[in-house]
Amino acid sequence: MRDTTPRHDHAPSTPVPGVRHRRPPPSPPGDARPTPTPLPPPGPTRVALRQWLARDGEALVARQRAPGTLALYRDAVVRFCAACERWGLTPYGLTRLDLLRYLAELAQQGYAASTRARTTVAIRRFFQCLAEAGVLPYNPFARVPAPPLERQAPRVLTEAEDAALGQLAQRESPRTWAIVAVLRQTGLRASELCGLCVGDVTLAQDGQPGQLVVRQGKGKQDRVVPLPAPAQEAVQASLATHANPRPEAPLLVRPHAARPLTRQALGSLITRLGARAGLREVSPQTFRHTFLAQRRRLRMQQEPPMPPAPPPLLFEELPLLQARTLGRGPWLDPVLHQALREQMAALSTRAVRMRLPRGVNTQTMRARILRVARELQVPVTVRRVADGVIFWRSTPEDLAQAQAVAARLPGAQRRHTRPGHQR
């Protein structure tokens, strides 16, 4: 992250434990070093900062925050406090507009949305700590939202780019070959790779596959990662040139030094290797994105194929009479409808028995007979018999009996629907 704030704006007058301070750049030869502007005396902002570093720093460690995250939070608070002192403000008079003004300055200076979001979270946590400690009556930034992150597709290497980087790394040195091979075939993060020790590597032997033990990885969790054969070959070549291959020694060390390889040095090495291959925007995270994309593609190939899509909807025009015979609408089969009309028109003092073939429901046929009777406005009485139905023109006695049954029916229905009634 580019630092555009002058040294005297954000550096405390006295060293603060846990905060890294950068040395001022050397002056050009022959020029007099400019006299720095004296820092203002420690005010409430500086005192509140020390309280947060002493109190909330321990709270973040207790919540298992990574040391890098804690350092970034502290740096964000230091810079904001320096801006407040530059504006002549104290924590007792800040409002949410002051934080929005500071975030707007960061955006004008070219800081990414992720940096501004992290800064918002750190400052909100800082002032929440002051409010809980009683330094402030409330947190003025409790409801300031973090800037939305810019979602972009991750950079993924093609097969040709991946092969070119592997060949360059193999020609450069065994250590560089091991770095690229492990990143390509395990998908480790940069901090996880730099934290490996010699004892964390188990090479394949006696039919047992090789593996890496990643300690204190993402979320402070340990895990075991398989080590493919090409990566094992590169790690073996690197261990053959290792100056101190003890189990507790770091697996990757910086050249011409006994210090472990840092995350920043690893990033510079990968960027330089990508520039030699004619590639831009190559970092250790690029290898992780490529590894995850390849594994996702392989998983999709191994999954069973999806069922075929349903056929499209087809429409066909039919004659109206044919449609009435196919559906279950209010219309009957024209032949049956005409036959029932003729029989009901001829009803006098005799009944008509209708024998039904096997499979025809007597209740359905009774409903059809009553439907045709309503069309003709002819009172009809229908009874179900063993092999069909029988119907005749209703007499006054039949109508009186039907009315008596209809009068009793609502009461019976109410009794059956009473709460707690068991059928």
Pairing of strands 211-214, 352-355: unpaired
**Residues 328, 295 share a domain:** no
CATH number of residue 333's parent domain: 3.30.1370
User: With 60 as the cut, is the pLDDT of residue 61 above it?
Assistant: no
C-alpha 174 chain-centroid distance: 38
- Structure-block tokens of residue 152: 């972009």
**Residues 109, 18 share a domain:** yes
- Structure-block tokens of residue 353: 């028995």
CB contact set of 197 (below 8 Å; sequence gap of 6+): 247, 248, 249, 250, 251
Determine, yes or no, domain membership for 138.
no
CATH number of residue 285's parent domain: 1.10.443.10
More confident residue, 320 or 368: 368
User: With 60 as the cut, is the pLDDT of residue 419 above it?
Assistant: no
Backbone phi, then psi, for 70, in 5-degree steps?
-65, -40
- Three-class SS state of 56: helix
Q: What is the mean pLDDT of residues 218-222?
A: 76
User: With 60 as the cut, is the pLDDT of residue 141 above it?
Assistant: yes
- Three-class SS state of 255: coil
**Residues 295, 163 share a domain:** yes
- Number of domains making up the chain: 3
Q: What is the mean pLDDT of residues 321-326?
A: 66
Q: What is the mean pLDDT of residues 111-128?
A: 88
User: With 70 as the cut, is the pLDDT of residue 332 above it?
Assistant: no
- pLDDT at 56 (0 to 100): 60
Determine, yes or no, domain membership for 129.
yes
Backbone phi, then psi, for 197, in 5-degree steps?
-110, 170
**Residues 295, 184 share a domain:** yes
Q: What is the mean pLDDT of residues 242-260?
A: 80
**Residues 334, 245 share a domain:** no
**Residues 210, 170 share a domain:** yes
- Least confident range of 61-75, 279-293, 306-320, 362-376: 61-75
Q: What is the mean pLDDT of residues 416-423?
A: 46
**Residues 195, 92 share a domain:** no
CB contact set of 51 (below 8 Å; sequence gap of 6+): 129, 130, 133, 135
More confident residue, 113 or 219: 113
Q: What is the mean pLDDT of residues 317-336?
A: 67
CA distances to 347, 352, 373 from 392, in Å? 7, 6, 11
More confident residue, 207 or 60: 207
CA distances to 44, 164, 238, 273 from 169, in Å? 53, 9, 12, 7
**Residues 405, 335 share a domain:** yes
CATH number of residue 111's parent domain: 1.10.150
User: With 50 as the cut, is the pLDDT of residue 27 above it?
Assistant: no
* Vertex 265: Cα angle to 262 and 269 (nearest 5): 135
**Cα 241 to Cα 238: distance, rounded to the nearest angstrom:** 5
- For the whole model, what pTM was predicted? 0.49
**pLDDT tens per residue, range 280-291:** 888 898 999 999
Determine, yes or no, domain membership for 420.
no
Determine, yes or no, domain membership for 392.
yes
Could you list the residue range(s) of the whole structural domain that residue 369 is in?
A: 323-413
Q: Among residues 267, 301, 335, which one ends one of the domains?
A: 301
30 secondary structure, DSSP code: T
- pLDDT at 120 (0 to 100): 92
Q: What is the mean pLDDT of residues 210-222?
A: 81
- Three-class SS state of 367: helix
More confident residue, 18 or 241: 241
**Residues 270, 167 share a domain:** yes
Determine, yes or no, domain membership for 50.
yes
Determine, yes or no, domain membership for 374.
yes
Task: Give the sign of the dihedral formed by CA 35, CA 37, CA 42, CA 45.
Answer: negative
- pLDDT at 410 (0 to 100): 63
User: With 80 as the cut, is the pLDDT of residue 417 above it?
Assistant: no
Backbone phi, then psi, for 104, in 5-degree steps?
-65, -35
**pLDDT tens per residue, range 340-368:** 888 888 888 888 888 888 878 888 888 88
Determine, yes or no, domain membership for 377.
yes
For the ranges 59-73, 283-297, 323-337, 346-360, the one whose mean pLDDT is highest? 283-297
Pairing of strands 388-393, 201-202: unpaired
Q: Place 243 in a pLDDT band, splitting at 50, 70 and 90.
A: confident
Q: What is the mean pLDDT of residues 228-247?
A: 85
**Residues 327, 291 share a domain:** no
**pLDDT tens per residue, range 189-203:** 888 888 888 888 888
**Residues 61, 12 share a domain:** yes
**Residues 297, 328 share a domain:** no
Determine, yes or no, domain membership for 154.
no
Contact 68, 191 (CB under 8 A): yes
